[in-house]
């Protein structure tokens, strides 16, 4: 089993809709001042990483986050990373939406939630997971197993990807927290994904760069997909 690339999932910075308690959906909302500061700060942490690829939801809040965080990078816009299509819920205050009959379904049984004139949460999860897995395979094939790449997306999208990596049902994804401008790291292997970081808003990211692999004769040793029994030493593979 071969080594594989490392995926960093970056949520966009705080938006005007986040600050006002609204559901932006796919509307063209921008970052507020706090969100701009968050994007700049996360950029300082990301610049230590040799990113092999940077892809992004096409929505302005993700593009703006990357403009501030990584101004020298031109991200590839990826429709598969776009926000969930909340349909008629978009632009509505969350306090109002909490009174809708669909609200408890979204909270307790999201795999059954279909937004009026919008997308099903299960559809969102499936296309997001398929998108990052496809990109991960492409990055690994083109740049090698030590590659680190970044995808900038949205809260529910990242939560769905994390739930898949953990092997838990989508109905449990509301237990996952992904803050604005946070970094989540996943490494897919042939046997299982590994969740390396979750909702990291201040840690040193340099340790996510895997060490160069030394060539060696095939021996009886754990494969790259095996978990470290006892927890391992951290800081690499």
CATH of the domain at 146: 3.40.50.1240
The answer, yes or no, to whether residue 148 has pLDDT greater than 70, is yes
| Residue 219 placed within a domain | no
Q: How many Cβ atoms from other residues are within 10 Å of residue 198's Cβ?
A: 18
- What per-residue confidence (pLDDT) applies to 19? 94
% of the chain surpassing 70 pLDDT: 88
- What per-residue confidence (pLDDT) applies to 1? 39
Least confident of 134-148, 160-174, 220-234: 220-234
Q: What is the mean pLDDT of residues 200-212?
A: 85
Kindly report the average pLDDT of the chain as a whole number.
91
- What per-residue confidence (pLDDT) applies to 210? 79
Domain range enclosing 109: 6-206
| Residue 232 placed within a domain | no
| Residue 142 placed within a domain | yes
- What per-residue confidence (pLDDT) applies to 214? 61
Return d(Cα 187, Cα 196) in angstroms, integer.
Answer: 7
- Give the list of residues 6+ apart from residue 117 with CB closer than 8 angstroms, or none: 87, 88
| Residue 129 placed within a domain | yes
Indicate the number of domains in the chain: 1
């Amino acid at each position: 089993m071969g080594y594989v690339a490392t995926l960093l999932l970056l949520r966009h910075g705080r938006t005007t809709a986040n600050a006002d308690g609204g559901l932006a959906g796919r509307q063209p909302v921008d970052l507020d001042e706090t969100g701009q500061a968050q994007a700049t700060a996360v950029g300082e942490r990301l610049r230590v990483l040799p990113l092999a690829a940077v892809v992004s939801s096409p929505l302005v809040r993700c593009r703006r986050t990357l403009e501030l965080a990584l101004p020298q990078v031109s991200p590839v816009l990826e429709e598969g990373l776009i926000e969930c299509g909340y349909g008629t819920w978009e632009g509505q205050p969350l306090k109002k939406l909490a009174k809708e009959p669909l609200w408890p379904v979204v909270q307790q049984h999201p795999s059954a939630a279909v937004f009026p004139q919008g997308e099903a949460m299960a559809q969102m999860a499936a296309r997001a997971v398929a998108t990052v897995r496809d990109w991960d395979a492409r990055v690994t094939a083109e740049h090698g197993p030590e590659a680190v790449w970044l995808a900038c997306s949205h809260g529910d999208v990242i939560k769905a990807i994390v739930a898949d990596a953990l092997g838990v049902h989508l109905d449990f994804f509301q237990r996952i927290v992904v803050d604005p401008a946070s970094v989540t790291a996943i490494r897919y292997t042939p046997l299982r994904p590994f969740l390396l970081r979750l909702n990291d808003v201040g840690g040193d990211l340099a340790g996510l760069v895997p060490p160069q692999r030394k060539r060696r004769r095939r021996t009886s040793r754990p494969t790259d997909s095996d978990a470290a029994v006892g927890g391992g030493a951290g800081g690499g593979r």
